[in-house]
Amino acid sequence: MEYVLETNNLKKVYRDFKALNNLNIHVPKGSIYGLIGKNGAGKTTLIRLVCGLQKPTDGTYTIYGVKNSNPEILKVRKRIGAIVETPSIYQNMSAKDNLIEQFKLLGIPNLEEIDSLLELVGLSNVGKKKVKHFSLGMKQRLGIAVALAGNPDFLILDEPINGLDPQGIIEIRELILKLNKKKKITILVSSHYLDELSKIATCYGFVDSGQIIKEISAEELEKKMEQKIELKVNEAKDFILYFEKNNINYEIVDNHTINIYGKINIPKFINNLSKNNLQINEIHEKEESLENYYMNLIGGDKND
Amino acid sequence: MIRLLDAGLKRIFKSRIFWIILFIVIGIAVMMIYNSYSDLKEFDEVVKIETLFFNLTTVMGFIVAIFVSLFLGTEYSDGTIRNKIIMGHKRIKIYLSNLILTVFATVLFYIIYLIVISIIGIPIFGGITMSISNLLLIFFDIFVLICAYSSIATFISMICSNIAIATIVNIVLILAMVMVSISSMNILSSPKTVVQSTMVDGAIQMVEVPNPRFPTENERNFHQQVVNVLPTGQSFQIAGQTADPKILSLYSGGVTIIFMGIGLYLFQRKELK
């Protein structure tokens, strides 16, 4: 798999505080990578390092295969657009002037694309209104437009829906999906709003205490979040043949635990197992949500 | 670097603080002409136009401090400095382009000031009496002095991410330099002797005695160095035409290079948010 961003034991220490502690992340090309973690988990620190705003204390990262220590990284950065925490826009300028600034900084002489960018983010009708009079959602969308100047193929959005009203959240969500699907932009989006991320992400990275504790594709996660039955058995491997034969979606957790995914008629299921001489000791019906999954990953209450 | 300068130039002319200061500078020019005209009328004072040309240097420090703090501080308060880094501009180029832009804006303020003084002042007070070579030499001093002020203010504004703190530090620093310069200039201008009144046989007699506060040779050298090194001291010397114009630019150049060097070193290591 081709990765746009990879890190190798990335570490960032602020005095005595380890913000990143040997963090390893792999952002696949073409994905919407949801970086999930509570406040202070290290999401923004990771983004600051990747954007070159700060230097790692230890470890490395590569963007499009170019290591951060390679001088070529400056050229590769031109392929990145980013919003770190708040949109980086001049408050006393209009939306158009902000984009002209960005185009000039990028050395793009042709300013024709500005109108289409404004249209893409739904700001084509704001005229000469200064950004300081914009709503938070409009500022966020302009921030994305600024980040999109120069047609980057990797977009980093740090908490893009923070503080937005429901309408603003929907607009940003749709914009992210549009950019990923129509413009084929790889997007790394950090958030602590699990529900929102679950609507757009194709991959997830769960961050806690400066580490990625789990990377998982949306497909795998969806599978895990389906209705689940946990079986406690004497010998898990004895069940494999039966499950395979009957197309049952299963996962061997350990030698004595099996998870069965999907809707199942439990009495009938137990009866069939019994007919095949497969004895179960315990059976538990569980329903997993992204929230439960996340809480289980980070260790539940102890992290709150 | 050209891209940074191109974008920065556009921002200067879009910036409200640039136009506000420009109008203030025009106001200062008109006020100076009016004051000189009043002196001419009331006291029959001879006003040399070149004196008016150089007078703006006395407030140049404050003009640069305010403009640079607010212009560059916006990059941090609006977070736009991040865009430059994210798109791969080298920090050294970002710093230098900001320094060049602030020098450019300040020189522009000065040129507008000179134009206003010339247009209104020359018909009233007459033309330039100084030799052109000397005038150009002093203008060169003023240019390097502007570089020194800009270098100090850029250093503070690029290292301190808080626009309010950077503005206060810049203004307080200029105030402090003005006070130190005035104090050193007062010491340097103290007379060798003072007239003392003494009672001799019941009658008061005025006797000239050595000034106990007259600085020693070493003290004079020290205070002269202070006035030469501090940009505010140079401003007063340029306005009063009391120093050798050939050496002033060396001091300003030194100040410019030192602050630029330290600023570049620290900005390369600065952790941006």
pLDDT per residue as tens digits for the range B58-113? 999 999 999 999 999 999 999 999 999 999 999 999 999 999 999 999 999 999 99
pLDDT value at position A300?
54
- The answer to whether position B216 is within a domain reads no
**Residue B269 near residue B162 (C-beta atoms within 8 A):** no
**Mean pLDDT of all residues in B243-250:** 84
Search chain A and give the residue with CA nearest B88. A74
**Which of the following CATH numbers is that of domain A3-217: 3.40.50.700, 3.30.420.40, 3.10.180.10, 3.40.50.300?**
3.40.50.300
A302: pLDDT strictly greater than 50: no
Search chain A and give the residue with CA nearest B6. A104
A303: pLDDT strictly greater than 70: no
Q: For CATH 3.30.70, list the domain ranges present in chain A.
A: 227-287
CA distance B90 to chain A (A): 8
- The answer to whether position B150 is within a domain reads yes
Give the CATH architecture of domain A227-287. 2-Layer Sandwich (3.30)
CB atoms B87 and A78 under 8 Å:
yes
Q: By three-state DSSP, how is residue B260 classified?
A: helix
- The answer to whether position B149 is within a domain reads yes
CA distance A134 to chain B (A): 14
A287: pLDDT strictly greater than 80: no
Note whether A108 contacts B: Cβ–Cβ < 8 A: no
Note whether A150 contacts B: Cβ–Cβ < 8 A: yes
A289: pLDDT strictly greater than 80: no
Q: For CATH 3.40.50.300, list the domain ranges present in chain A.
A: 3-217
CA distance A152 to chain B (A): 10
pLDDT in tens, A42-75: 999 999 999 999 999 999 999 999 999 998 999 8
**Mean pLDDT of all residues in A193-204:** 87
CA distance A160 to B270: 25
Of A53, A90, A105, the CB nearest to B87: A105
| Domains in chain B, number | 1
pLDDT in tens, B11-56: 999 999 999 999 999 999 999 999 888 888 888 778 888 889 999 9
Note whether A84 contacts B: Cβ–Cβ < 8 A: yes
A296: pLDDT strictly greater than 80: no
pLDDT value at position A301?
44
**Mean pLDDT of all residues in B209-225:** 86
Interface test with A, best of B6, B13, B87 (most A CBs within 10 A): B87
B161: pLDDT strictly greater than 60: yes
Q: Give the sign of the dihedral formed by CA A161, CA A166, CA A172, CA A177.
A: positive
pLDDT value at position B37?
87
- The answer to whether position B223 is within a domain reads no
**Mean pLDDT of all residues in A234-261:** 87
What are all long-range contacts of A62-69, with beta carbons under 8 Å and residues at least 24 apart? A62/A3, A62/A5, A62/A6, A62/A7, A62/A8, A63/A4, A63/A5, A63/A154, A64/A4, A64/A154
Q: Which residues of A touch B14 (CB under 8 A)?
A: 92-93, 97
- The answer to whether position B219 is within a domain reads no
ipTM metric = 0.81
**Mean pLDDT of all residues in A79-108:** 93
Among the residue ranges A207-221, B104-118, B194-208, the one predicted with the least confidence is B194-208
Task: Please give the residue range of the domain that contains residue B122.
Answer: 2-210+229-269
Q: Which residues of B touch A146 (CB under 8 A)?
A: 83
- The answer to whether position B153 is within a domain reads yes
pLDDT value at position A205?
93
